[in-house]
Amino acid sequence: MPISSHFIDAGLKVSTNVSLANYSTMRVGGTGTTLVHATTEEELSKAIQITQTQNIPMYFLGSGSNTLFVNDFEGVIIKIETKGITTIEEDDTSVLFSVAAGEDWHNFVTFCVNQNLVGNENLAYIPGTVGAAPVQNIAAYGQVQEDTMVSLRAIEIETGEIKTFSKAECDFSYRGSIFKGELKGKYCIASVQYRLQKATNYTPELSYHSRYESLKDFLPKASEPITPKDIFTAIVALRKHKLPQVDESGTLGSFFMNPFITKEHLLKLQQTFPDIQFYPVDKMQYPDSSDPELQNAELVKVPAGWLLEELGFRGKFKGNVGSSPKQALCIVVTGPATGEQVLDFAQQIRNTVLEKTNISLRTEVNIIDETGPREL
């Protein structure tokens, strides 16, 4: 009995032998034998239960904006297509929402801004779904997803039970959470609760940090005071200006995370790269790392994009795969290519950075091969 029959018998919509390139914004990949569309939390639970019973690999897919399919995938892809933004409570100063995991993140931010709510406007135009936002703990221009997140509901894969995680239990770190660490592969996020502040007493200091000087050019010159909508509009314009767009080429956005290094390491690099960019960080921003050197030392953050540009990768191509002329940190595909070719190019970048700077870059994207997630 084909695995797809089990899902069909349960009333679930199934696509078979799909081109994975159509389910990733990188536009590469082989074939997926079974893709299940989960449009409700009940369907999501059913899909997980059936896949668990059959004891085959599963991968949860949102918008595909952070997934590189290297080749074929031999398991079940559960595509989370749940929708809904529900008001849980409201008072004079804030509103608490429950948002389905399959909701588009940018649409949620737009929804909040249009209601004159403050707290996530700097996270506008980040591709992906709401369910993926806590896993990655997305951040941009001084705001972090965890700033407004209150809790989330997740399905335990092994048992099918629903568990509520508080913000503290998510163990957030720079571009990380417990769902990328200790609980990786053990839960599927079903919905997330966010509390946004009403903009009655709004001041731009709530969301605008002066170290991001590039934002100034995109803010309205004559608008006083600056509104959340102004910030939102400026962020969208800036990201469109600085980053490759999926209607122009295949891309997953930033392929690598910004590395954290010790101050001693920075001093050594400054001998070779006197103009190296870096930012101070506090303990709350530290990466999820088992490296005791990083856990106990005073760290700085180095922009990976600056490193790649300094090392000559911006606009560099090998065939139809290369580093975007707009932003060196973004690998793009401009024509026919394979997932293996993207992976090879990423490995070339990583090897060069390690050789020249002794920095080991960590990938920000999910790399999926025949049986599931893998590391570069």
Active site residues: 175, 254, 364
Using CB atoms within 10 A of its CB, is residue 208 exposed (0-12), middle (13-18) or buried (19+)?
buried
| C-alpha–C-alpha distance, residues 5 and 15, integer Å | 11
Distances (CA, A) of 278 to 36, 271, 355: 44, 14, 19
| C-alpha–C-alpha distance, residues 75 and 230, integer Å | 45
| C-alpha–C-alpha distance, residues 76 and 49, integer Å | 12
Angle between helices 105-114 and 228-242 (to 10 degrees): 150
What's the angle, vertex CA 180, arms to CA 72 and CA 106, rounded to 5? 80
Is the alpha carbon torsion for 278, 133, 142, 170 positive or negative? negative
Segment (H or E) for 240: helix 228-242
Question: Counting every residue, how long is the chain?
Answer: 376
Residue 318 Ramachandran class (φ > 0 left, ψ -120 to 50 alpha, else beta) = beta
Segment (H or E) for 190: strand 187-198
Q: Which tokens go with 322?
A: 């290369």
